[in-house]
Structure 1
Amino acid sequence: MSLNSGRFVYSTINLNDPEPLANRTATILGWVITFLIISWICVLLRFYVRFRVVRAPGWDDLCVGLYLTFYVENATYCSSAAFIKLALLLQYLRIFDRGTSMYKITLGVTIFTALWGIAYSVIAWVPCVPVSDYWDLYSDGKRCYGYGSHTPYSFVATYESHSAFNMALDTIVFIIPIPLLFKDGVTTAARLRLVALLSMGCIVLALAAWRLQTMIANQVATYPTRDPTWYGPISIILAALELNAASICASVPIFWPVFTQNWSGIFVTQEVKITRESRYNEEDRDSLTRGSYHSRVGSDTELSIVESTSGKKNQHYRDSYILRQVDPLRMPDDRDQPSARAGDPKDQSRKWTKF
């Protein structure tokens, strides 16, 4: 790249350079395909838990889905990077209570990340006007900018500024959940899981920093000569690994509790059978045994939760807690049904039944 003429320099200066490890086919396919498969597995397990198990999908799941879509179509790295960060931030909004300082901070970072993603995605999707000038070898580049700029300074600055903002936002997303480690009532097991998640976040930060370093070192594959196929593979590999690692971080906390619960059930070695002997008469019958007219009952019993059937058919979906989990950005609505909490006196009479 020539700083004096302001034009890209093409030469054969690197023809005798040893082939970098990142340029080898085995390296590219091995790392990218492996992480991509792991990422897809984690995201699909996340969707399974959210849609089939807890049945409470939210905006964060939509962002993860959009990340996968753009990644598969190879449309742009900018959109994928923005969507995966938004997925994590929207996930945080489901954790923090409304009105708290952490909720407000997370909401502010979410808005900034969305604006950052829109700005750079527009530059990436429309690098020239018309877009066909981007791949037109005979274009003079006068109507190209950002990622399509024919000016080395503008071209390099666009890539490096996006990478710098990307790493800064990764750091902020990494820091936001740290206060949960010191929250009262958090169990040691929960802290260990959070530490494991933060450790995975450190890997994402390391990949982002490494990618930025490679881009600065070769000036986005333009120094000492413009040769994207020679200097670019390392940055492209790191970008793919960073996005895949981030999607794994966003998905593991969703499906892991369900996975461990089902996994432990596979190795049940003992089964306990409980037989209850109780004695009642009509004078001391309570709400739990109301309807029984036998003076003595001796049977194998089991307890099961009975949901209230009063109200509308879809009353569950107007529950304020459910709505708050699905859409953390929604405002309170008078039509919302109050959340039922275990231990409420009015709920005790119909919470459990015996049959």
Structure 2
Amino acid sequence: MGVTFEELIGQMLMNAPDPKEKLPVANRPETIWCTTMPFLILTWLAVGLRCWVRFRVMREPGWDDALVLLAALLNTAATIFVLLCIKYGLGRHFLYIGIPEMQSFIKMFYFANAIYITNTAVIKISLLTQYLRIFKAGMMHWICKCLIVIIGAWGFTYGFMAWFPCFPPQAFYEKNAYPNAKCYGFGFVNDQDFIGLFESHTALNMAFDVTVFVTPMILFTKPNLKMKNLFAMAGIFILGAVVVFTSVWRLYSIVDNRAATSPYIDFTWWTPISIILSCLEIDLAIMCASMPIFWPVIEESFAAIFVTREVQITEQRRYSFADRGLAYELEHSDTMRRQASVKTQSTSRESLVITRLESGKNVEEHYKDPYLAAQVDPFRNIAQEVAVKTDVEAKKKDKWVL
């Protein structure tokens, strides 16, 4: 049988907090707004650039892009519910916000928590699906597929318990309207189940975060890895390490206040820090998944705008008569025009004879130049005059590409 609001308030009255207690920094509305909204905007910027590169530049969209877009939509919805929670008492003592606000807060928290738990699985599966583009075959390919199945089962199990903590689900935030509802786990039947479920999900979430972000580190063992790719991969892994750190911090906060029940039950007072870390964790994970897609294109565009190398181009002209170059063309422009008119009125052999008579030099000697002979005579064996030899050692093709 579920705990009614009257029973819950009775437990709180036994440990009534000081109504004039100083508001912690994390509990202030401006703190919640200023930590969630900027990162949400950056997240959508990263997702937008990713979609632009995949759909318009590479023209190779995949399931990983669809999952990242889904994760961004779910993250936006969860953030909206979190901000609505501020209106209904988030950051203040639960005992002093009033019965209507209590019901509204629990309703907003229900949707925010269920969306967050679902999204933790979606973003990890998106990253693993993205890894399948790199690991085309071999052991790493199957490791990623196994992780997709395991994380998918984990996300479905906890997601189901978050979306259906009671039967019917409305009983979670309208307990008085459904006195005979069956609740469990997140439905707060008892403290131990409620705390254990939150702590177990957070701990597994942290473990899977570490696993997912460590999986592609095998790429560092790739021989002849370019320094540019090395720095790019290191940057992505640093961002991934920040995601893992955020997940660890969230686990610590939940264990520390025992899912907002210690030292006394106060859901609106103890949860802000955990809620903020939940939003930041998903934001950073989505950005980490998107940066490898759009950053190479952005970097190339900047390289095209800001030129960092000078290129000197040297042109060498070849003429028929011993290095006289442009001076010869200017001095004999009339003769060249006459040659052109003759060529238009006779065959190529006749024009060659006329040119020989006018120049006073055997033009056939001109075609003894190996370079010109190679351009004129298609049956000439160029390989006898210019030989190029290359030795290429066969190398086993890698099962991944950068």
What is the TM-score with the length of structure 2 in the denominator?
0.65
Within the candidate set 64, 70, 75, 2:68 is matched to 64
Within the candidate set 179, 182, 185, 2:224 is matched to 185
- Does residue 174 (structure 1) correspond to residue 210 (structure 2)? The answer is no
Task: Quickly say closer, same or farther: Cα 1:95–1:242, change in 2 above 3 A.
Answer: same
SS of corresponding position for 1:19: coil
**CA–CA separation in structure 2 for the residues paired with 1:101 and 1:233:** 42
Where does 1:257-272 land on structure 2 (aligned, <5 Å)?
257-268=296-307
CA shift digits 1:44-93 (9 cap, x unpaired): 11111111110111111111011112122224101111111111111111
**CA–CA separation in structure 2 for the residues paired with 1:142 and 1:149:** 12
Task: Quickly say closer, same or farther: Cα 1:284–1:181, change in 2 above 3 A.
Answer: same
Structure 1 stretch 193-202 or stretch 138-147: which is displaced more? 138-147
Larger radius of gyration: 2
Contact residue 141 and residue 150 of structure 1 kept, 8 A: no
Distance apart, 1:240 and its partner CA: 0.3
One-letter code aligned to 1:108: C
**CA–CA separation in structure 2 for the residues paired with 1:205 and 1:242:** 8
Instruction: Give 4+ residue runs of structure 1 displaced > 6 Å after superposition.
Output: 271-278
**CA–CA separation in structure 2 for the residues paired with 1:151 and 1:274:** 83
Query: What are the ranges of 5 or more consecutive residues in structure 2 without an aligned counterpart?
Result: 1-6, 79-110, 318-370, 382-398
Where does 1:331-350 land on structure 2 (aligned, <5 Å)?
none
SS of corresponding position for 2:136: coil
Where does 1:128-207 land on structure 2 (aligned, <5 Å)?
128-138=166-176, 139-140=178-179, 142-207=181-246
One-letter code aligned to 1:144: C
**CA–CA separation in structure 2 for the residues paired with 1:233 and 1:271:** 57
SS of corresponding position for 2:122: helix
**CA–CA separation in structure 2 for the residues paired with 1:62 and 1:145:** 33
Task: Quickly say closer, same or farther: Cα 1:284–1:125, change in 2 above 3 A.
Answer: farther
SS of corresponding position for 2:12: coil
Query: What are the ranges of 5 or more consecutive residues in structure 1 without an aligned counterpart?
Result: 1-6, 287-323, 326-355
One-letter code aligned to 1:281: V
Alignment match, 1:340: none
The percentage of counterpart residues that share the same residue type is: 36
Distance apart, 1:14 and its partner CA: 4.8
**CA–CA separation in structure 2 for the residues paired with 1:115 and 1:223:** 31
One-letter code aligned to 1:116: W
Distance apart, 1:140 and its partner CA: 4.0
Task: Quickly say closer, same or farther: Cα 1:140–1:275, change in 2 above 3 A.
Answer: farther
**CA–CA separation in structure 2 for the residues paired with 1:237 and 1:285:** 77
Where does 1:246-257 land on structure 2 (aligned, <5 Å)?
246-257=285-296
One-letter code aligned to 2:33: L
**CA–CA separation in structure 2 for the residues paired with 1:253 and 1:285:** 51
**CA–CA separation in structure 2 for the residues paired with 1:163 and 1:185:** 39
Contact residue 133 and residue 141 of structure 1 kept, 8 A: no
CA shift digits 1:273-318 (9 cap, x unpaired): 78797852362599xxxxxxxxxxxxxxxxxxxxxxxxxxxxxxxx
One-letter code aligned to 2:53: V
Where does 1:1-355 land on structure 2 (aligned, <5 Å)?
9-11=11-13, 12-74=16-78, 75=111, 76-98=115-137, 100-138=138-176, 139-140=178-179, 142-268=181-307, 279=372, 280-281=375-376, 283-284=378-379
Distance apart, 1:25 and its partner CA: 1.7
Contact residue 141 and residue 149 of structure 1 kept, 8 A: no
**CA–CA separation in structure 1 for the residues paired with 2:127 and 2:316:** 48
CA RMSD of aligned residues (A): 2.4
What is the TM-score with the length of structure 1 in the denominator?
0.73
Distance apart, 1:149 and its partner CA: 2.8
**CA–CA separation in structure 2 for the residues paired with 1:159 and 1:200:** 25
SS of corresponding position for 2:183: coil
**CA–CA separation in structure 1 for the residues paired with 2:212 and 2:378:** 61
Task: Quickly say closer, same or farther: Cα 1:276–1:82, change in 2 above 3 A.
Answer: farther
**CA–CA separation in structure 1 for the residues paired with 2:219 and 2:314:** 39
One-letter code aligned to 1:110: I
Contact residue 218 and residue 231 of structure 1 kept, 8 A: yes
CA shift digits 1:331-351 (9 cap, x unpaired): xxxxxxxxxxxxxxxxxxxxx
Higher helix share: 2
CA shift digits 1:171-208 (9 cap, x unpaired): 10121011111112321221121111111111111110
Q: How many residues align?
A: 281
SS of corresponding position for 1:184: coil
